Amino acid sequence: MSIDIAQLERGIVKGDRRALSRAITLVESTRPDHRAMAAELVEALKGADGVDRQALRIGLSGTPGVGKSTFIEGFGGMLTGQGLRVAVLAVDPSSARSGGSILGDKTRMDRLSRDPNAFIRPSPSQTHLGGVGRRSREAVALCEAAGFDVVLIETVGVGQSETVVAEMSDLFVLLLAPAGGDELQGVKRGIMEIADIILINKADGDLKSAASRTCADYSGALRLLRKRPQDPEGFPKAMMVSALEDTGMQPAWGEMQALTKWRRENGHWDARRAAQARYWFGEEVRQGLLSQLATPEARAAMEELGAAVAEGRTTPAIAARELLERIGAGVWNG
């Protein structure tokens, strides 16, 4: 594609969806020249006139089948109904295989995908989470610059993706299904610890009483966690919703707004965004170093020095240092 960064920038600031789509395609590209242009665009948008926009970024996680797409359709529709503009992005490390991405779910988000105040973007088809995370973070920034009020970032609950999504969200919401027994569904403690709101979905029909029990169980479990400084009294909390029947949506949104307001007033919103900027800086550095190891020269040196180590001609530590010096990354490695 031929790319005019200034034109894209103007389009995004105006809220032009085609410009936004093209810009997201650019940040998702792995081509080095595209990466450079994407970085330039994101930087330009930071300083663009009148763009001091902050969206509420909501990370949403849950295992396949829990009802994420159905929830987003209802919740997103409620928000646009209130005059808010809503963007939906997916971070899905497994989207290379079919079925994981929200593209395949368009039918479940039929109304939302046709809503002029909504923008839905499927996950980039990449299997490497490091890359997906950083591109998604830039896509979030683009949606924010385009004036969306709420950016929903969906992820399936596999591996590290929740942590990555939490690092680009102001609020992290975990969607769970009603449990059969009294077990806590094997939800990992680490995920409990990053959740701000747990929504027990499918609180309808035959599942309603199970949902109610599950909600009580999680409320109890949340109270046992260490108190976090970024929470007012009563958070994190568990609530019930039914995405299918569209119930509990407004109360859930009310709690998200209350939490957001408190965090803004108490400095936690800014502090979190600052800490996230620092995190992504570190990620960029790590990714940059890793990409230096992927050049043909680095690979050849790796092969050559690896053989030297294997044959006992040098030690792993000395060979590693030699390699880092050759790729220009060994300066600080003394």
Residues that bind ligand GDP (CB under 6 A): 62, 64-70, 105, 108, 201-202, 204-205, 207, 242-244
Cα separation, 82 vs 56, in Å, equals 15
Of the two residues 45 and 195, which places its CB atom closer to ligand GDP in the complex? 195
- Those residues whose C-beta lies under 8 Å from the C-beta of residue 85, and which sit 6 or more positions away, are 15, 117, 118, 119, 147, 148, 149, 150
Name the amino acid, one letter, at 25: T
Give the residue closest to Mg ion by C-beta: 69
What does 202 interact with, of ligand GDP, Mg ion, none (CB < 5 to 8 A by kind)?
ligand GDP
Cα separation, 272 vs 39, in Å, equals 22
Cα separation, 178 vs 208, in Å, equals 8
CA proximity to 118, closest of 166, 84, 156:
84
What does 243 interact with, of Mg ion, ligand GDP, none (CB < 5 to 8 A by kind)?
ligand GDP
Smallest gap from Cβ 93 to ligand GDP, in A, equals: 15
Smallest gap from Cβ 178 to ligand GDP, in A, equals: 9
- Those residues whose C-beta lies under 8 Å from the C-beta of residue 311, and which sit 6 or more positions away, are none
Of the two residues 70 and 161, which places its CB atom closer to ligand GDP in the complex? 70
Of the two residues 11 and 122, which places its CB atom closer to Mg ion in the complex? 122
What does 244 interact with, of ligand GDP, Mg ion, none (CB < 5 to 8 A by kind)?
ligand GDP
What does 155 interact with, of Mg ion, ligand GDP, none (CB < 5 to 8 A by kind)?
none
CA proximity to 59, closest of 25, 100, 88:
88
Burial class (CB in 10 A: 0-12, 13-18, 19+), 208: middle
- E strand spans, the chain: 56-62, 86-91, 118-121, 150-156, 171-176, 197-200, 237-240
Of the two residues 92 and 149, which places its CB atom closer to Mg ion in the complex? 92
CA angle, 115 as apex, 113 and 121 as ends, to 5°? 35
42 to 81: interface string for Mg ion, x by CB under 5 A: --------------------------xx------------
- Say if CB 79 and CB 257 are below 8 A apart: no
What does 117 interact with, of Mg ion, ligand GDP, none (CB < 5 to 8 A by kind)?
none
Smallest gap from Cβ 112 to ligand GDP, in A, equals: 12
Regarding 105 and contact with Mg ion (CB under 5 A), the answer is: yes
- Say if CB 68 and CB 76 are below 8 A apart: no
Of the two residues 190 and 205, which places its CB atom closer to ligand GDP in the complex? 205
Of the two residues 105 and 138, which places its CB atom closer to ligand GDP in the complex? 105
Of the two residues 134 and 202, which places its CB atom closer to ligand GDP in the complex? 202
Smallest gap from Cβ 227 to Mg ion, in A, equals: 33
What does the binding site for Mg ion look like in residue numbers (CB under 5 A)?
68-69, 105
